[in-house]
Amino acid sequence: MALIKEVKGMYPVFGTNVYLAENATVIGEVQLGDDCSIWFNAVVRGDVHYVRIGNKVNIQDGAVIHCTYQKAPTNVGNNVSIGHNALVHGCTIRDNVLVGMGAIIMDGVIVESNSIIAAGAVVLEGTHIESGSIYAGVPAKKVKELSEEQTTHLVEGIANNYVMYASWFKV
- Residue 90: which domain range? 3-169
pLDDT at 16 over 90: yes
Q: What is the mean pLDDT of residues 41-52?
A: 98
Nearest to 135 by CA among 150, 125, 145: 145
DSSP string, 26-61: EEEEEEE-TT-EE-TT-EEEEEEEEEEE-SS-EE-T
**Distance between the two ends of the chain, CA-based, in angstroms?**
12
Query: In this structure, are residues 29 and 50 in contact, taking their beta carbons and an 8 Å threshold?
Result: yes
Q: Rounded to two decimals, what is the model's pTM?
A: 0.96
What number is the average pLDDT over the span 9-37?
98
Q: What's the rounded Cα separation, in Å, for the pair 22 and 138?
A: 33
Residue 15 pLDDT exceeds 90? yes
For the chain, the average pLDDT equals: 97
Cβ proximity of 85 and 106 under 8 Å:
no
CATH of the domain at 141: 2.160.10.10
Q: Tell me what percent of the residues of the chain surpass a pLDDT of 70.
A: 99
The predicted pLDDT at position 8 comes to 95
Band (150; pLDDT cuts 50, 70, 90):
confident
70/86: higher pLDDT? 86
Residue 103 pLDDT level (bands cut at 50, 70, 90): very high
Instruction: Report how many domains make up the chain.
Output: 1
Q: Is the pLDDT of residue 153 over 90?
A: no
Count of positions (residues) in the chain:
171
Which pLDDT score is estimated for 171? 65
